[in-house]
Structure 1
Amino acid sequence: MAAQRTYGGLSAEERRAQRRSALLDAALEIIGTQGLDKLTVTGMCGEAGLNERYYYESFTSRDDVLTALIDGIAEELVLVIAAALHGAGDDSRAKARAAIAAGIHLLTDDPRKTEVTMVAAMATPALRARTTETIRAFARLVASEGIEFYGVDGPAPDPVIDFRATYLVGGLIQTLTGWVRGDLDISRETLIDYTTDVFVLLGEDFAHRADQDRSEP
């Protein structure tokens, strides 16, 4: 097989990845500053400084672009939450607050990401389905962390754990959306504290019930 030709020290695949990343950065900027309606192939390529033909080497539709943005933000969330959990204290509240704060800060420090997750993610049926899948994935992450932290044994998957984790993640997203829109007149730190209260309450209640079940003859 012939060696892959390089330009400026980058392979063709690496250059393609760079162009894709530049287009996604451009899409994030347009959505965040001009609105979803302004997201066009011409606009993206102009913002990225690329010929329009490069758009089609990575994307086939606007939904493709938005899905890639949503997936990218979800990956960022996983990384910052994992880092926050690793650096948090050993008690349940410290871990919950660290993870929740990390996620909320990521989604709200950059208004462009807020716009993507709160508006663009609901733009079409396909994107809403993708968002639902993402919520389920984070619910599974919450369930897994809770099981590990509290040392809860039980059937897999446990419908009670699944329900509570889905309720927590879905409720957080709905609450965060309302807060971003100004429906909740509280500070971001208070929002984080209140959310932590709910996560810890449901987690410790379930752990307590599990302990009772194990102690029963």
Structure 2
Amino acid sequence: MYSGVPQEERARLRRERLIEAGIDVFGRLGFAQATMRDLCAHARLSERYFYESFRNTQDVFDTVCKQLIQGLMDTIRNAITQAPLNERAMLEAGLRAFLQFMKDDPRRVQIVLIDCVWMENLKMRDGRSELLTYQHVIQTLTQGFYPQLSADIDVKLAASGLVGTAIHTAIAWSHEGFKADLESVLKHNLSAWAGLRHWMKLSTTGKNATPNQAELVAHVRNVFKTD
């Protein structure tokens, strides 16, 4: 015990300080320029305590990136599951939540959309990339809305392209200091999605081309694993 705080709790708090330091240091400097000394200085901890929780700077970055991505996915999930149960409304809600999440803390753009995306692309080959989570959500939602979609459309490939569009739009927006209105940026994003939606509708066959509301509710809950 020290000042009434158990050793395990003090270690946990030091780890949290280093993670918070990581968000600020990586968000301002970028992963390539950040050093262990930068992290320790920001957290006001010695190198001894750094190695108590992390192996190296990459280890801190991976932890920070995973935490921010989880926060992003939770935000998108909440927005989509609370939106009216139709494709357009859910799409807008998810994209709006994504853009707002980045605008709320510009450091997230550098970490999640630039450095993390670059590193995650290296993991794509063995399927370990967190980016696949974004693609899986888009792919499975789309398949639920268009269960009789023509085999001519590769939904997985299309989802990858749409994720890329959202990411690069947000990066460009941040580089301009988020000057443009969020709703205006959202419309630019939706224009790319509109083309795919039109193509999907033209390529969907059968009288029961779209599922009923009960089926959609079940599908959306399954995608996001909600009750």
Instruction: Establish whether TM, by shorter chain, passes 0.5.
Output: yes
| Gapped regions of structure 1 (runs ≥ 5) | none
CA root-mean-square deviation: 3.5
Please state how far the C-alpha of 1:187 moved relative to its aligned partner.
Answer: 3.2
Aligned to 1:179: 173
Contact between 1:96 and 1:200, CA under 8 Å: does it hold in 2? no
Residue aligned with 1:90, SS: coil
> Sequence identity of aligned pairs in percent?
21
**CA displacement, residues 60-93 of structure 1 (integer Å, 9 cap, x when unaligned):** 2222222222211111111000100111112222
Please state how far the C-alpha of 1:135 moved relative to its aligned partner.
Answer: 2.3
Query: Does structure 1 residue 137 correspond to structure 2 residue 133?
Result: yes
* Residues 1:107 and 1:130: Cα distance change in structure 2 (over 3 Å): farther
Which AA in structure 1 matches 2:137?
L
Aligned to 1:42: 37
Q: Which moved more, 1:19-28 or 1:183-192?
A: 183-192
- Give, in whole Å, the separation in 2 of the partners of 1:103 and 1:75: 12
Please state how far the C-alpha of 1:26 moved relative to its aligned partner.
Answer: 0.6
Query: Does structure 1 residue 188 correspond to structure 2 residue 182?
Result: yes
- Give, in whole Å, the separation in 2 of the partners of 1:6 and 1:183: 45
Residue aligned with 1:211, SS: coil
Residue aligned with 1:24, SS: helix
* Residues 1:105 and 1:153: Cα distance change in structure 2 (over 3 Å): same
Query: Does structure 1 residue 23 correspond to structure 2 residue 21?
Result: no
- Give, in whole Å, the separation in 1 of the partners of 2:65 and 2:153: 27
Contact between 2:148 and 2:206, CA under 8 Å: does it hold in 1? no
Aligned residue runs from structure 1 range 28-107, under 5 A: 28-33=23-28, 36=31, 39-107=34-102
Which AA in structure 2 matches 1:93?
R
Contact between 2:149 and 2:200, CA under 8 Å: does it hold in 1? no
Aligned to 2:204: 210
Residue aligned with 2:130, SS: helix
- Give, in whole Å, the separation in 2 of the partners of 1:166 and 1:122: 13
**CA displacement, residues 2-61 of structure 1 (integer Å, 9 cap, x when unaligned):** xxx99857672x544432221011121123345556632222223223232221132222
| Gapped regions of structure 2 (runs ≥ 5) | 210-227
Structure showing greater relative contact order (alpha-carbon pairs closer than 8 Å, 6 or more residues apart): 2
* Residues 1:53 and 1:183: Cα distance change in structure 2 (over 3 Å): closer
Aligned to 1:168: 162
- Give, in whole Å, the separation in 2 of the partners of 1:65 and 1:158: 43
Residue aligned with 2:189, SS: helix
Residue-pair matches, total: 206
Give TM-score scaled by structure 2 length. 0.74
Aligned to 2:218: none
Please state how far the C-alpha of 1:203 moved relative to its aligned partner.
Answer: 3.3
- Give, in whole Å, the separation in 1 of the partners of 2:3 and 2:140: 45
Give TM-score scaled by structure 1 length. 0.77
- Give, in whole Å, the separation in 2 of the partners of 1:207 and 1:10: 60
* Residues 1:76 and 1:122: Cα distance change in structure 2 (over 3 Å): closer
- Identify the match of residue 143 of structure 2 among 147, 150, 170: 147
Which AA in structure 2 matches 1:82?
R
Stretches of 4+ aligned residues off by more than 6 angstroms: none
* Residues 1:106 and 1:212: Cα distance change in structure 2 (over 3 Å): same
